[in-house]
C-alpha cells in the first residue's frame, strides 16, 4: 500500500514534489530543492522564511493553524492574506506556495580568496619513484617487499608502510608499467597511494569551514602554488544560522548529528570536484588536506557529538590536533590520504583562531596586537609581551545580516555601504553586484552595510550615543507608528521588494549587543595584560575584511584605536591552513600556539556584564550608565 502524500508547488520556480502529511514547509522546500531561506533553524525567530499560500481560504484545511511564533511575527491582515512562516507551517493537503524575493536564498559573495603570503614548501607528503625488479623464481620475494627493498637504496629515513588501498592496486601497477612505480609517501612512511600518471603534481587542500561559508584551496605541494580555489555556502545554514542552533539540532539524537555531518561532507566533496575541474588534478593525486574551523564545525565535520559544546562547562570531545583517513569520512581524495585538523583551544575558540595566528605571526609577534575575528561568534586574541590571551563572545548573527528586519547575507542586492548627509539626511548606498550597465535594486542590508549605516546615523544625529532613534527629527525618512520607530534607507519605489528597506530600534539594539560583546571582551583582555592601548588591531575573516575602519571606530567595535591602526588581514584562518598544508613544521607550531593561549572565560568574569553595559553605548562609556540613559 502506498503511503499517503501531499503535493506542493513552489512559485515562482515552479518546483513541485510530494511529501508526507505533517511535513513543515521549510523541510518540504529542502526535500524538493526549492529556494527558501531558513536562518534560525526552524525556531520561528528570524521571520526570514515568510511565504504566501495561494488561495488561502480554499487551502485553510491543508495547513496547520498559525503558531504562537507566527501570530507574533505576522499581523492579522498578513495571516488573513495567506502569509505564513515556512518553518512553522505543517502541510496536510495539496498546496501552492509563493516564495517572495526577500525569502529566497541568494548566492552569497564569499570573500575568502587566498592571501599572497610567501610559503617555502616543506610538505608532509612527497613523491617517491622506484624501479622494482621482477620476482626471481629461485627467491620469490613478495611484491611489497621488493618495492621496500628498492626504496632502501634511495636513502629513505623511514621505510614505506603499506596502505591497504596500495596493496590492492600494486600487482596490476607492477605488471602493467614494467616495474615502474610512483608513490605518494608521508614523512612517517605511510604510503598514501600509487599514481597512475607519474608526471601529475602532488596536490593538497587547505579547507576553511566557516559557520556560514566554505573555502577550499588546491595547492601544488612541491611549489606551493594555488592551483584552484572554490567556495560555497555551508549547507548547514538550513539548520540554523549560528552554532547554538546546530548544536541544539544535533542534540536531538544521533540521526540529527549524522544529518549535519553528511551535509558538510557532501558539500566538501562538491568543492573537491570543482577544484579538480579547474586544475586538471585527479583525485588520486590529491594526497593531503588541512582543515580549520570553529569547534562546532570541527565536531560536525568529524561526526563527533557536539552537545558538550552547548552546555557548561562547554567541553569539546577532543582539543588536540587530529588526523583521520579521508576514506573514513567519505571524502573523495587519494585512498590513503589523511585529513589533519589544527588543534582547538576551548569549546568556543577553535582551529580557525590557531590558523589566523599562524598566518599573522609577523604582525603580532613581539608587539601588542588585538586580533578580532568577527562572525556569528567573535574570537579575540591579545598578543602582549610574549603572552597570548584569548576570549570568545556570542555576537549573534546580526553582523552578518541574519536577524535584522531587512537583513541578508552578502549577496547580490545587499546594501554594503551607506552614507548619510548630516544636513539633509539624504542617503546614498552601494549595492553588491550593482554596475552601471546592469543596475541591481537593493533587496536588504548585509553586515558591512549595517555597520556603515549605524555609524552614519550616529554621525548624522539620527541616533544618539545610547542608540535610541530620535523621534523628533523633521524628515519623512523617520517612520513613527506608536512606540515603533524606523529610519528609511531605501524608499519602497527604489527597492527590489516594493517595500521600504528600514533600520528600526531592534536592529540598532542587535548591533549594540554584538559590538558591545566584542568591545567588552577586548577591554577585559587588555585589562588582564595591564595594557591601555594596542599597536594594531587585526580584523580577520571575510566580514572583517570589508568593515570600514572609520565606521568601526565610530561605533566602538574595538577598544580605543585610531582607524589607521585597524588592518584587515583577509581570510587569515584559511591562509593558516594553507601554511600548515605546505609546511609540516607549522603543524607543530600550531600545537604550541594552542598550548600558549590563555583562555579567559567571559561568562565567569565578575566585571563582564558591567563592561558589556558600558560598551553598549556608542562608542562606549567610561562609567556605568544610569537607568535613564539605558532607556
Question: How confident is the model over 268-278, as pLDDT tens digits?
Answer: 999 999 999 99
Q: Residues near 314 by Cβ (< 8 Å), separated by ≥ 6?
A: 308, 346, 347, 348
Question: How confident is the model over 545-588, as pLDDT tens digits?
Answer: 788 899 999 999 998 889 999 998 888 999 999 999 999 999 99
Highest mean pLDDT among 366-370, 434-438, 480-484: 366-370
Q: Average pLDDT, stretch 191-205? A: 90
Q: Average pLDDT, stretch 194-212? A: 91
Report how far apart, in Å, the C-alpha atoms of 363 and of each of 15, 71, 247, 314 are: 51, 51, 34, 31
| Partner residues linked to 372 by β-bridges | 380, 539
Look at residue 196 and tell me whether its pLDDT is greater than 90: no
C-alpha–C-alpha distance, residues 348 and 375, integer Å: 12
Q: How many CB atoms lie within 10 A of CB 378?
A: 25
> So what's the pLDDT on residue 387?
95
C-alpha–C-alpha distance, residues 50 and 499, integer Å: 14
- Considering only 5-14, 130-139, 546-555, which range has the smallest mean pLDDT? 5-14
Exposure letters 438-455 (e unless 16+ CB within 10 A, then b): eeeebbbbbbbbbbbbbb
Q: Average pLDDT, stretch 376-403? A: 83
The fraction of the chain above a pLDDT of 70, given in percent, is: 92
- Rounded to two decimals, the pTM is 0.82
> So what's the pLDDT on residue 18?
85
Exposure letters 223-253 (e unless 16+ CB within 10 A, then b): ebebbbbbbbbbbbbbbbbbbbbbbbbbbee
Give the residue among 499, 503, 504 at the shortest CA–CA distance from 442: 499
Question: How confident is the model over 26-50, as pLDDT tens digits?
Answer: 888 878 777 787 666 667 777 778 8
Query: What does 438-497 look like in DSSP terms, one character per residue?
Result: B-----EE-HHHHHHHHHHHHHTTSB-TT--B-TT--STTEEEETTEEEEEEE-GGGSSS
Question: How confident is the model over 290-339, as pLDDT tens digits?
Answer: 999 999 999 999 999 999 999 888 999 999 999 999 999 999 999 899 99
- Considering only 108-112, 148-152, 188-192, 241-245, which range has the smallest mean pLDDT? 108-112
Give the residue among 431, 533, 546 at the shortest CA–CA distance from 490: 431
> So what's the pLDDT on residue 462?
96
Look at residue 91 and tell me whether its pLDDT is greater than 80: yes
> So what's the pLDDT on residue 1?
46
C-alpha–C-alpha distance, residues 405 and 233, integer Å: 22
Return mean pLDDT, the chain: 88
C-alpha cell at 548: 570600514
Sign of CA dihedral 209, 210, 213, 218: negative
Greater confidence (590 vs 153) lies with 590
> What are the structural domains, with CATH classification, of the chain?
6-103 (3.10.20.30), 125-194 (3.10.20.880), 203-351 (3.30.420.480), 360-397+511-627 (3.30.420), 402-490 (no CATH)
Angle made by CA atoms 168, 170, 173, in degrees to the nearest 5: 125
* Contact in structure between 385 and 594 (CB atoms under 8 Å): no
Q: Average pLDDT, stretch 61-72? A: 88
> So what's the pLDDT on residue 394?
79
CA 91 to chain centre: 32
Greater confidence (86 vs 390) lies with 390
Element (H, E) at 499: none
Look at residue 56 and tell me whether its pLDDT is greater than 80: no
Greater confidence (626 vs 404) lies with 404
Amino acid at each position: 500500500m502506498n503511503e499517503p502524500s501531499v503535493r506542493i508547488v513552489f512559485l515562482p520556480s515552479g518546483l513541485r514534489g510530494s511529501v508526507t502529511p505533517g511535513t513543515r514547509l521549510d523541510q518540504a522546500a529542502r526535500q524538493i530543492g526549492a529556494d527558501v531561506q531558513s536562518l534560525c533553524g526552524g525556531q520561528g525567530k528570524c521571520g526570514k522564511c515568510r511565504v504566501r499560500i495561494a488561495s488561502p481560504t480554499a487551502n485553510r484545511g491543508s495547513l496547520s493553524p498559525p503558531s504562537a511564533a507566527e501570530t507574533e511575527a505576522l499581523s492579522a491582515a498578513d495571516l488573513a492574506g495567506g502569509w505564513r512562516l515556512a518553518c512553522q507551517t505543517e502541510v496536510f493537503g495539496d498546496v501552492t506556495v509563493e516564495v517572495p524575493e526577500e525569502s529566497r536564498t541568494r548566492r552569497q559573495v564569499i570573500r575568502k580568496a587566498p592571501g599572497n603570503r610567501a610559503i617555502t614548501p616543506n610538505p608532509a607528503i612527497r613523491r617517491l619513484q622506484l624501479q622494482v625488479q621482477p620476482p626471481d623464481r629461485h627467491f620469490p620475494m613478495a611484491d611489497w617487499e621488493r618495492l621496500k627493498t628498492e626504496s632502501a637504496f634511495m636513502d629513505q629515513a623511514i621505510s614505506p608502510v603499506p596502505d591497504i588501498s596500495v596493496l590492492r592496486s600494486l600487482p596490476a601497477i607492477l605488471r602493467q608499467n614494467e616495474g615502474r612505480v610512483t608513490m605518494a609517501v608521508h614523512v612517517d612512511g605511510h604510503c598514501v597511494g600509487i599514481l597512475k600518471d607519474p608526471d601529475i603534481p602532488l596536490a593538497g587542500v587547505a579547507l576553511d569551514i566557516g559557520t556560514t561559508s566554505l573555502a577550499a584551496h588546491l595547492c601544488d605541494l612541491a611549489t606551493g602554488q594555488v592551483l584552484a580555489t572554490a567556495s560555497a555556502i555551508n549547507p548547514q545554514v538550513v539548520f540554523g544560522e549560528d552554532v547554538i542552533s546546530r548544536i541544539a539540532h544535533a542534540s536531538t539524537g544521533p540521526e540529527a548529528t549524522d544529518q549535519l555531518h553528511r551535509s558538510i561532507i557532501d558539500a566538501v566533496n562538491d568543492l573537491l570536484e570543482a577544484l579538480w575541474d579547474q586544475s586538471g588534478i585527479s583525485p588520486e593525486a590529491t594526497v593531503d588536506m588541512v582543515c580549520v574551523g570553529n569547534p562546532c564545525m570541527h565536531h560536525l565535520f568529524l561526526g563527533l557529538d557536539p552537545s558538550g559544546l552547548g552546555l557548561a562547562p562547554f567541553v569539546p570531545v577532543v582539543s588536540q590536533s587530529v588526523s583521520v583517513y579521508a576514506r573514513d569520512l567519505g571524502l573523495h581524495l587519494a585512498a590513503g590520504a589523511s585529513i589533519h585538523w589544527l588543534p582547538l583551544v576551548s569549546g568556543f575558540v577553535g582551529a580557525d583562531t590557531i590558523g589566523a595566528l599562524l598566518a599573522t605571526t609577523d604582525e603580532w609577534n613581539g608587539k601588542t596586537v588585538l586580533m578580532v575575528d568577527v562572525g556569528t561568534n567573535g574570537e579575540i586574541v591579545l598578543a602582549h609581551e610574549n603572552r597570548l590571551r584569548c576570549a570568545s563572545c556570542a555576537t549573534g548573527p546580526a553582523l552578518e545580516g541574519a536577524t535584522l528586519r531587512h537583513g541578508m547575507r552578502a549577496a547580490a542586492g545587499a546594501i554594503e555601504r551607506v552614507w548619510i548627509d548630516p544636513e539633509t539626511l539624504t542617503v546614498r548606498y552601494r549595492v553588491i553586484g550593482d554596475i552601471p550597465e546592469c543596475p541591481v535594486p537593493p533587496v536588504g542590508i548585509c553586515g558591512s552595510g549595517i555597520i556603515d549605516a549605524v555609524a552614519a546615523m550616529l554621525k548624522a544625529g539620527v541616533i544618539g550615543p545610547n542608540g535610541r532613534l530620535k523621534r523628533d527629527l523633521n524628515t519623512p525618512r523617520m517612520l513613527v507608528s506608536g512606540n515603533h520607530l524606523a529610519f528609511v534607507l531605501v524608499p519602497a519605489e527604489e527597492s527590489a521588494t516594493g517595500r521600504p528597506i528600514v533600520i528600526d530600534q531592534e536592529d540598532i539594539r542587535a548591533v549594540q549587543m554584538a559590538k558591545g560583546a566584542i568591545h567588552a571582551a577586548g577591554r577585559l583582555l587588555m585589562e588582564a595584560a595591564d595594557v591601555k592601548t594596542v599597536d594594531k588591531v587585526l580584523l580577520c575573516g571575510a566580514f572583517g575584511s570589508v568593515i570600514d575602519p572609520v565606521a568601526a571606530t565610530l561605533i566602538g567595535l574595538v577598544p580605543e584605536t585610531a582607524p589607521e591602526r585597524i588592518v584587515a588581514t583577509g581570510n587569515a584562518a584559511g591562509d593558516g591552513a594553507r601554511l600548515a598544508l605546505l609546511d609540516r613544521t607549522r603543524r607543530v607550531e600550531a600545537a604550541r600556539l594552542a598550548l600558549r593561549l590563555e583562555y579567559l572565560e567571559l561568562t565567569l568574569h565578575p566585571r563582564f556584564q558591567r563592561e558589556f553595559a558600558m560598551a553598549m553605548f556608542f562608542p562606549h562609556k567610561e562609567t556605568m550608565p544610569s537607568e535613564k540613559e539605558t532607556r
